[in-house]
Amino acid sequence: MVGREREEMDKEYLVLTYADYEDGIRDGKLLGLRCAACKKITCHPMPVCQWCGGRTLERTELSGEGELVTFTVIRVPSEGFEDDVPYIPCLMKTKEGPCVVGRLDYDTARATQELLGKQVKLSGAYTYKGDKFSGGPRTCPVFGVIE
């Protein structure tokens, strides 16, 4: 960006920045945004409501609980993830509505389709170290299966 740092711009235009979102995950909180116009919740930092385009958003804390929608087991790593395999990226639909991408903390040898629909909850954070294709380290939520 010319003249201003991205972080500075984020703070001015976003109620919830990616730095805030990642800090929340590391603190055991799943943060999202509630639209004042349509009352729907989204779970990634953005300047407008993804549902109605409203610009009046307020930060909200989600329960961190929901349903496992889909997952896959990564056994062959892409560049930069050689030390991570095997691991399970997943999509969780929160009780509040929005879907969140994260990692599933589960034994990869036991991960079968029977996991789909199981209840999961935020159980930690994972920080990717970054590689030549990314913007550096990023933190994502880790979900555990509620047995």
In tens, the pLDDT along 4-21 reads 566 665 666 678 999 999
In tens, the pLDDT along 95-141 reads 999 999 999 999 999 999 999 999 999 999 999 887 777 778 899 99
CATH class of 64-147: mainly beta
In tens, the pLDDT along 24-51 reads 999 999 999 999 999 999 998 999 999 9
Average model confidence (pLDDT) across the chain: 91
User: Which pLDDT belongs to residue 10?
Assistant: 62
Using left for φ > 0, alpha for ψ between -120 and 50, and beta otherwise, residue 61 falls in: beta
How far is the CA of 39 from the CAs of 9, 11, 57, 99, 103, in angstroms? Answer: 25, 23, 9, 16, 28
E strand spans, the chain: 30-35, 41-42, 57-62, 65-71, 89-94, 99-105, 119-128, 138-145
Domain residue ranges of the chain, discontinuous segments joined by +: 1-62, 64-147
User: Which pLDDT belongs to residue 54?
Assistant: 93
